[in-house]
């Protein structure tokens, strides 16, 4: 760990830097401020009086300063080291890793002085889950030729239905383009095709429609151009396939549009997976959901006398119609199911305002990761140090920071470590569907999933796509701290739909989700991008996501400080954060708030 500045609290610099246009002056004032701090509050005010022009900033700075001191690189690292240790076995729900994780986190919440977050007096919300181990077989027959697929190198397949065997026999195969029905864009890939009982094959992401004026770009008016909409997510594709009555939905993997290589699909799916164990045993979802590799898809389509590239091209038109393939699918999935209780861990800091204390701001980070794979050679443990021991460590430190405020914020603040995010945001989904405090009184969810471990940056990335007023608050906080909020640099990845806050958003709660910056102080210009690319390619969802002695968590602290400020402002503010017009979730929120 190397805190480059040598300051124990990276919080001061930002406040002073904001007050001054000159970097040198800021550094000078920071040193001076720290010296004065030891002398007393009056002097602090004087120094601030010199350095700043706005009294409001002085007051805010003074009020937040003791809290921000609780957020430190060493503090973060200490939590990460424990949560990501081999002893925690990769933190799979329902394992010894869960026991150790939920105990550690709830002990921390208790020690910090949070109250039990569950009104039943505990720090836990029980989440009924089922673990499913699948042994899938999949083959396509074309004429008298059979194409057997190799699991998991060629395909993955599973079912969320809680039954011991799933069989799809001799099912017609239909290519349905992107598999999207989006009335607001006048788009319907299914047209009136009857796909009941059939196996549908589709492309990942949302339709990539070129701009009529400049075909080298995507049309901003359709599916938000380059950005991914919810229609591009695999979860959506399986949901609509179920509504259409298909038996199996098979997504053709492509690295670019999926935003991750097939190896990520393989390691995430070819293992025990989890579902919420609903009373109906999930009978309402699609029987088989599957991915196949692009190579297998090309081969299958060629056998059927079709060409993948030509089909893909035809799918970017509103006129596209499903294409029946002269192939039959045979899929058999043997499932070992075990039901168990997993847990969201939740702590609460009561608001100080009698009228507002039953309104809530919530911070979330998932504690779970991918567990261990005994069949792997050598290292078998998915330590998930960045994903997401780092986020949980951040939430623990945020909780500690909030308890240092005197008085506490007007509204109550909830701190939650969710389970089973990696299996499809299940802990967050369960909370959102069974909230312990009403969602219409929940002002915001601020979610942390991975932090920047490579030092300080001038920027912070807005992965919430500027879709609510929370993003404006973040921009203001960043500016106040001499930093800059930058737009999502890869909106095509659909990051907003891929982490826990999305389950809150789906039900209307505005959410904030950020990524570490890329513009590193004192590093070459391409350093940030390089580090991100390296993580995605070599460590994301791999056993190598481990604590690295070269980390510098001072940048993570900068970012958490900003999330602290935004949460604080919401918890103390005059009004509820709101979705901006045109966002997918605004009408849902408006409806809930009217009730």
Contacting positions for Zn ion (CB under 5 A): 387-388, 449
Alpha-carbon dihedral 548, 552, 555, 556, rounded to 10 degrees? 40
How far is the C-alpha of 361 from the C-alpha of 445, rounded, in Å?
6
**8 A C-beta contact, residue 357 and residue 351:** yes
Q: Which is nearer to Zn ion, 440 or 559 (CB)?
A: 559
Q: Which is nearer to Zn ion, 351 or 424 (CB)?
A: 424
To the nearest whole angstrom, how small is the minimum distance from the Cβ of residue 108 to Zn ion?
A: 19
Q: Which is nearer to Zn ion, 391 or 455 (CB)?
A: 391
Alpha helices of 113-254 — where are they, by DSSP H?
234-243
CA 378 to chain centre: 29
**8 A C-beta contact, residue 480 and residue 420:** no
To the nearest whole angstrom, how small is the minimum distance from the Cβ of residue 109 to Zn ion?
A: 20
CA 213 to chain centre: 34
How far is the C-alpha of 433 from the C-alpha of 424, rounded, in Å?
14
Nearest to residue 80, comparing CAs of 516, 546, 471?
Answer: 546
Nearest to residue 453, comparing CAs of 73, 69, 6, 5?
Answer: 73
How far is the C-alpha of 426 from the C-alpha of 344, rounded, in Å?
10
How far is the C-alpha of 270 from the C-alpha of 417, rounded, in Å?
25
**8 A C-beta contact, residue 172 and residue 328:** yes
To the nearest whole angstrom, how small is the minimum distance from the Cβ of residue 407 to Zn ion?
A: 34
To the nearest whole angstrom, how small is the minimum distance from the Cβ of residue 384 to Zn ion?
A: 8
CB-based contacts of 441, cutoff 8 Å, min separation 6: 358, 359, 360
To the nearest whole angstrom, how small is the minimum distance from the Cβ of residue 560 to Zn ion?
A: 16
* Beta strand pairing call for 484-487 and 459-462: parallel
Nearest to residue 458, comparing CAs of 519, 523, 516?
Answer: 519
Query: What are the DSSP E strand ranges found in 143-208?
Result: 145-148, 155-158, 165-175, 181-182, 187-188, 199-203
């Amino acid at each position: 760990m190397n805190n480059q500045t040598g300051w124990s609290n990276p919080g001061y610099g930002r406040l002073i830097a904001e007050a001054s246009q000159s970097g040198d002056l800021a550094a000078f004032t920071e040193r001076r401020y720290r010296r004065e701090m030891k002398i007393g509050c009056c002097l602090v005010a004087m120094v601030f009086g010199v350095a700043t022009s706005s009294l409001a900033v002085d007051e805010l700075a003074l009020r937040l300063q003791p809290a921000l001191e609780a957020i430190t690189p060493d503090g973060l690292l200490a939590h990460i080291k424990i949560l990501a240790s081999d002893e925690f076995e990769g933190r799979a729900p329902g394992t010894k890793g869960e026991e150790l994780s939920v105990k550690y986190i709830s002990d921390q919440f208790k020690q910090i002085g949070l109250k039990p977050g569950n009104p039943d007096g505990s720090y836990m919300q029980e989440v009924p889950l089922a673990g499913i181990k699948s042994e899938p077989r999949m083959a396509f027959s074309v004429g008298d030729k059979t194409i057997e697929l190799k699991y998991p190198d060629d395909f993955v397949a599973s079912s969320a239905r809680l039954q011991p065997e799933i069989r799809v026999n001799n099912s017609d195969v239909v290519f349905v383009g992107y598999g999207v029905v989006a009335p607001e864009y006048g788009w319907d890939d299914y047209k009136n095709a009857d796909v009941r009982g059939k196996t549908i094959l589709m492309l990942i992401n949302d339709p990539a429609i070129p701009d009529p004026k400049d075909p080298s770009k995507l049309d901003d008016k359709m599916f938000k151009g380059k950005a991914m909409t919810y229609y591009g997510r695999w979860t959506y594709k399986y949901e609509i396939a179920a509504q259409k009555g298909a038996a199996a939905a098979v997504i053709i993997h492509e690295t670019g549009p999926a935003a991750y290589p097939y190896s990520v699909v393989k390691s995430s799916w070819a293992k025990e997976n989890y579902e919420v164990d609903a009373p109906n045993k999930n009978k309402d979802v699609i029987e088989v959901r599957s991915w196949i590799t692009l190579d297998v898809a090309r081969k299958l389509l060629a056998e059927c006398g079709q060409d993948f590239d030509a089909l893909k091209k035809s799918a970017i038109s509103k006129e596209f119609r499903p294409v029946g393939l002269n192939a039959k699918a045979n899929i058999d999935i043997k499932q070992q199911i075990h039901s168990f209780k997993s847990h969201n861990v939740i702590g609460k800091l009561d608001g100080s305002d009698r009228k507002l204390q039953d309104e809530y701001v919530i911070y979330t980070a998932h504690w779970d990761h991918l567990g261990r794979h005994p069949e792997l050679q050598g290292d078998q443990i998915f330590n998930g140090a960045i994903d997401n021991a780092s986020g949980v460590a951040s939430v623990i430190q945020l909780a500690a920071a909030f308890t240092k405020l005197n008085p506490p914020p007007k509204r109550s603040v909830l701190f939650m470590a969710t389970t089973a995010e990696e299996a499809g945001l299940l802990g967050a989904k369960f909370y959102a569907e069974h909230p312990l405090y009403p969602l219409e009184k929940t002002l915001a969810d601020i979610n942390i999933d991975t932090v920047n471990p490579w030092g300080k940056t001038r920027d912070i990335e807005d992965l919430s796509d500027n879709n609510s007023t929370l993003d404006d608050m973040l921009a203001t906080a960043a500016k106040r701290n001499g930093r800059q909020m930058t737009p999502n640099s890869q909106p095509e990845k659909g990051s907003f739909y891929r982490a826990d806050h999305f389950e809150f958003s789906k039900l209307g709660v505005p959410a904030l989700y950020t990524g570490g910056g890329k513009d590193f102080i004192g590093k070459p210009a391409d350093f940030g991008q390089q580090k991100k690319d390296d993580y995605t390619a070599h460590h994301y969802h791999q056993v190598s996501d481990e604590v690295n002695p070269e980390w510098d968590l001072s940048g993570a602290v900068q970012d958490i400080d900003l999330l602290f400020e935004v949460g604080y402002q919401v918890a103390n503010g005059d009004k509820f954060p709101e979705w901006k017009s045109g966002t997918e979730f605004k009408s849902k929120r408006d409806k809930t708030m009217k009730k």
